[in-house]
Amino acid sequence: MSHYLVITGGVGGAKFALGLSTTLPASDVTFAVNTGDDFEHLGFHISPDIDTLIYTLAGLNDTDRGWGRREESWNFLSTLRTLDEETWFQLGDRDLAIHVYRTSLLTQGKTLSEVTDVIAKKLGINHFLTPMTDQSLRTVVVTADGKLPFQDYFVKYQSKPIVEAIEFSGSELARLSPGVSEALANDDLCGVIICPSNPYLSIDPILSIPGFRSLLSEITVPVIAVSPIIGGKAIKGPTEKIMNEMDLEAGCSSLSVARHYQDILDGIIIDTVDTEQSEDIAALGLEVSVGETLMTSLQIKQDLAQHCLSLIEKINRSIERC
Amino acid sequence: MSHYLVITGGVGGAKFALGLSTTLPASDVTFAVNTGDDFEHLGFHISPDIDTLIYTLAGLNDTDRGWGRREESWNFLSTLRTLDEETWFQLGDRDLAIHVYRTSLLTQGKTLSEVTDVIAKKLGINHFLTPMTDQSLRTVVVTADGKLPFQDYFVKYQSKPIVEAIEFSGSELARLSPGVSEALANDDLCGVIICPSNPYLSIDPILSIPGFRSLLSEITVPVIAVSPIIGGKAIKGPTEKIMNEMDLEAGCSSLSVARHYQDILDGIIIDTVDTEQSEDIAALGLEVSVGETLMTSLQIKQDLAQHCLSLIEKINRSIERC
């Protein structure tokens, strides 16, 4: 028996998670999902990264558009527009059902963990998804134009404002969700995987939960990451722009990602196009493994998942664990 | 200048209201709408009769289906069904936008009157619509199977349980909405019209507001009704079934309707097929007028509206008023 804790954000993480979920049995994985992007909109509790993961693992995601549900319609939103109501956040008619259902269960007093589990199971997902926390921990982007809640920065202002810093409002009171804590306490835990998500916007919120980062730095099982940067570019979203704005010594690169996670990582997978960075990353004391990380097919996703498991096994063998 | 207060329920009343709204200038009418059918569902405040009136006056109603919006889609509801959530109340994707918007404004502290006015105006309605009350007054159907909230009786149980009585929960604390009170205090008020709606389920909730029924019985302007019964039958809904279950001496008939409103009415319009009931109704002290009341075209709706105005004028002349 072996168990893996997988820390993930939205689209990129979900692609990787799909590879892993079709590689490992349901009982072997805990997907801990970023909820720093969650927000209240029109009275609904919206959990964008959880939804992305759920839609992807359930095979309901729109692969052409890259977000939301497939076979989506937009009549709710177009009607809302006739009422001059805020429509900057794209709410599809099918997507909306999830938000309404989630909000309804939360209002009844269920935790986000419980609600997430119910929704995932009802949509036929066998693997275990859990929010990083059941408390409110909100990503706030400090920009040259002032502080912006994440969705305002990302959707309303299309990631245009220059990022100066990122804060996690409420993190001091947040606790890891029961599902994450159980995975960490699982005797069969043999590795922690950080998905190829935005380190600053998608993974840092999770690492900001008090005690989690130091726990990962001390944990006896390997912690590895898949770099979301390929040849100095991010596949999607504002990762590249943010990393360039952050005045990092190595700019937008896998080396910068490795440095960002340096205190908690044992190993990292970088793309073959970044092979030349291997030496610098290895110098940080990390096991570096090179492979294809651009997940354009299910086969590549599964190969990357297998690559992660192999890297964990290699690190474990080297320290005679698992 | 003349002003009319029009008391209405859902579909039948809305048809009549459309005739009146295309006959009279916007400033001449106040539509007071039943909110006894209102309910909370999935966290939304739903006002079925207000919505029916709004969709009808805005030309957005589905005339084939007989309720809801035209060009409606149902992807929200079908997705909700995959979550095993309650889907007995038909929520269309476009319709839902109204519920979300209304709920959002109510949560911000606006009254139902204010919200109704905003929505009607945004959908291009010039006439003034107002809920009967801003307080919670809920129609409860006492059946052989127990007490049922109106929507449970009407939609979930499809009006099948046998009706023993109808109660109006919260009526003791309800007050007429500001819009209705203003219409009643309007110096130009020259008539009150009770639409051809279900007397028990759609009009009685309005009459249950403390003081309103006695006010109508004493008011110096004519109060008239259009009978919703044609040849012993109701056009739509459970009116006929309920009237038959109520053990009324005259069964389901315009005579029973006249008796039901007897204390407040000065006149009533009944269908030509019920001409033979004129004498019995007149014996109640009412002015009876006979005409076509089956509103199968806009022209008939407008003729019926004109018929009402003429009847009011006739009664007013006979008592030298207006």
The alpha carbon of residue A130 and the mean position of all alpha carbons in its chain are separated, in whole angstroms, by 11
pLDDT tens column, A182-241: 999 999 999 999 999 999 999 999 999 999 999 999 999 999 999 999 999 998 888 999
Sign for the CA dihedral angle at A188, A190, A196, A200 comes to: positive
Distance from the Cα of A122 to chain B's closest Cα (Å) equals 6
| Residue B25 burial (CB count, 10 A) | 11
Judge: A83–B119 Cβ closer than 8 Å, yes or no: yes
Q: How far is CA B77 from CA A58, A91, A121, B110, in A?
A: 19, 14, 19, 28
Distance from the Cα of B230 to chain A's closest Cα (Å) equals 37
Closest Cα to residue A261, out of A310, A202, A194, A187? A194
Is the pLDDT assigned to residue B321 strictly greater than 60? no
Whole-number Å distance between alpha carbons of A96 and A74: 10
pLDDT tens column, A41-76: 999 999 999 999 999 999 999 988 888 999 999 999
Is the CB of B214 inside 8 Å of chain A's CB atoms? no
Is the CB of A89 inside 8 Å of chain B's CB atoms? no
Distance from the Cα of A214 to chain B's closest Cα (Å) equals 39
The fold of A3-156+164-318 is: Rossmann fold (3.40.50)
| Residue A149 burial (CB count, 10 A) | 16
Cite the beta strand spans of chain A per DSSP E: 3-8, 29-33, 39-41, 44-46, 128-131, 138-143, 146-149, 163-169, 189-194, 223-226, 229-230, 233-234, 267-271, 287-291
Q: Which residue has the higher pLDDT, B143 or A66?
A: B143
pLDDT of residue B320: 64
Domain locations in chain B as residue ranges: 3-156+164-318
Is the pLDDT assigned to residue A321 strictly greater than 70? no
User: pTM for the whole thing?
Assistant: 0.90
The answer to whether A141 touches A159, Cβ cutoff 8 Å, is no
The alpha carbon of residue B321 and the mean position of all alpha carbons in its chain are separated, in whole angstroms, by 27
| Pairing verdict, β A39-41 and A29-33 | unpaired
| Residue A233 burial (CB count, 10 A) | 12
- Percent of chain B at pLDDT > 70 equals 99
Element (H, E) at B33: strand B29-33
| Residue A74 burial (CB count, 10 A) | 20
Whole-number Å distance between alpha carbons of A109 and A104: 9
Which residue among A43, A92, A119 sits closest to B103, beta carbon to beta carbon? A43
pLDDT tens column, B256-286: 999 999 999 999 999 999 999 999 999 999 9
The alpha carbon of residue A132 and the mean position of all alpha carbons in its chain are separated, in whole angstroms, by 10
Judge: B43–A104 Cβ closer than 8 Å, yes or no: yes
The answer to whether B246 touches B217, Cβ cutoff 8 Å, is no
pLDDT tens column, B78-127: 999 999 888 888 999 999 999 999 999 999 999 999 999 999 999 999 99
ipTM reported for the complex surpasses 0.90? no
